[in-house]
Amino acid sequence: MNQKGFINIIIIIGIIIITATVGYIVWRKQFFPDTGSKACTQEAKLCSDGSYVGRTGPNCEFAPCPGGVVEVSLREGQRESSLLVKKIYPDRIEGLNFWEYPIATGQGHPVTLSIGETASNGCTIMLTLIRVRGGVATFIKKTDYNKPCPICLSGDTRIDTPLSTMRVKDMRAGMPVWTLDTAGNRIAGVVRKTSKTPVPLTHQMVHLVLNDGRELFASPRHPTIDERTIENLVVNDLYDGARVISIIRVPYSDVATYDILPSGETGFYWANGILLDSTLH
């Protein structure tokens, strides 16, 4: 084979390789289009209900938190959140509404809703009747996690009484309890009200630690004696005669939180030796 023939073979092989490469690129783009997706970093965002969401999608944005607005359809005898539907009429419904705040008693209160009217659990959930058709009542359910029920103390929290300290979950109306009067004096009172509020599995408590050794587990929105809430306290704040040295959110394993209301004008009481306000005014 002369030199000219050898060069022609090289040229032909080069053309074949280039044609095959271009053909492969065209085929890949046709059957495997580039979506612009990429591997997202393994980060998590804490939602206000205590759950977590990760990054997703082509832009690796955080997934939306649960909650918001959804449609809910109920028949007679069915319940959603605080509302139990008892009777459905062409233009209204009758039922029982079980408030969770200010006091979760487990007792339903009679309610009649016409189109456009709303029932609430007293805090986070609102149900608005929008349609009645074929024995089915349809509601808009709005969940606002920025307005959680002001649920209260860990069940094992010790309450100061003239007799001894007692767990808050064991306190009953009529029992003696230490409270504070408007002049700042520690006086004996009695428990006027108690509450037991169910909490979701995702509920978190605030673990408050003071520099004198006192500590407390309470819901973030439990009121303090200076018109704040527990979640508003920060490290180095002065509270009840001591400095805050730690305040963190932690998981809660119980099914409910608890509170009391002492007699007297303030509603203040001592929980694990820390002076608090009541949610039950």
Question: Which of 143, 176, 196 lies at the terminal end of a domain, its last residue?
Answer: 143
| Contact call for residues 53 and 65 (beta carbons, < 8 A) | yes
Show which of 143, 170, 195 is a domain's final residue.
143
In a domain, 242, yes or no: yes
Domain ranges, residue 83: 68-143
What's the mean pLDDT in 238-256?
94
Pick the last residue of a domain from 143, 174, 198.
143
Q: How many structural domains is the chain composed of?
A: 2
CA distance 209 to 214: 6
Model confidence pLDDT, tens digit, residues 179-208: 999 999 999 999 999 988 777 777 889 999
Q: The pTM is what?
A: 0.54
Measured from the Cβ of residue 252, the count of other Cβ atoms closer than 10 Å reads 21
What confidence category does residue 279 fall into, taking pLDDT thresholds of 50, 70 and 90? confident
User: Peptide bond preceding 200: is omega within 30 degrees of 0, i.e. cis?
Assistant: no
263-278: pLDDT as tens digits: 999 999 999 999 999 9
The DSSP line for 103-120 is ---S--EEEEEETT-EEE
Chain segment 138-168, per-residue pLDDT in tens: 999 988 765 666 578 999 999 999 999 999 9
Clarify whether residues 124 and 77 are in a common domain. Answer: yes
Look at strands 269-271 and 274-276 and give their pairing.
antiparallel
102 and 191 belong to one structural domain: no
Determine, yes or no, domain membership for 39: no
Within-domain flag for 259: yes
